[in-house]
Structure 1
Amino acid sequence: MQLPQPNLGVRTNALIDTPFLLKTAETIRLGTGIPQIFNDEVVVPAFLNRGVSLEDARDYAVVGCVELSIPGRTYGLHDIAMFNLLKVMEISLYENEGNDTLTYEALLAHIRAKISHYITLMVEGSNICDIGHRDWAPVPLLSSFISDCLEKGRDITDGG
């Protein structure tokens, strides 16, 4: 049927057999963008680097299109912010237009400072949304499925 929904992902690692990967590639070649491919050998270490236990990291799942989550352990507003790196680079180039003494290193430093600035704004905005969800839109049903929320007596939006 070649429908773009529902989203379907394939988790891969060194143990996946070649015929399965070839069938996955044939399916992708149809042009629907499905399935997405997620490499356990990249994703699991990334979770470990963020302090997630090996057991939980191996249990990761995909939320929506490509957002990664630990079922029953995490709550994320996965699409709360988008970061347009090319726009930041464009702003940096525009702000340095006509600067004949600009070096590559100085431009790179300017871009990095802009990235830091806009990420700070993005985090502040995300935190405001988190407070809003906590204060005005708790999710008790979801919280009942997240480990420790019932024991703590707190909604997931309030640190449960």
Structure 2
Amino acid sequence: MSLRHCVTVLALIFLFAAPLGAAPRDALETFGFTGEWALRCDAPPALDNPHRIIRLRRSGSSFTEQQGEAYQPNEYRILAARRDAQGALLLRVRFAGATQELTIAKQGDQIRTMRNRDVASGRLVVDEGVVASNGAPTPWLTRCGPKEGNQ
């Protein structure tokens, strides 16, 4: 492997393995990722109405997906975040012991998962806004109320 390739690989590792610092936090804030999001804000969390709650904290940022009282919330720890040239939010998260890379699109007060890739296997869970396992499009989630304050 050439020196140029080594430097490139190290730069990518640093970009996605670094703790959530000022630049990733800025990406989350400028994207407007914080707060609560749902398909229907006036209805409780359910399998067909997931609620996503995003909080930024000094100790680390995370988001939770709630799918109703019968289910344990899905907890995601944000490892890294940046914006791409088109304005989408690129996240590296830890969920259920696995590292995933997510691409989140935003239109107005709605967000949508456009891509979800398992880092270890390279398997795409979502590609171009379509869930690989069932071919269903990922939903547009709407912001529920004002942006949540950061802690």
| TM-score bracket, shorter-length normalisation | under 0.3
- Larger Rg, first or second structure (1 or 2): 1
Q: Which has the higher contact order (CA 8 A, sep 6+)?
A: 2
Name whichever structure is richer in strand by fraction: 2
TM-score for the superposition, normalised by structure 1: 0.26
Name whichever structure is richer in helix by fraction: 1
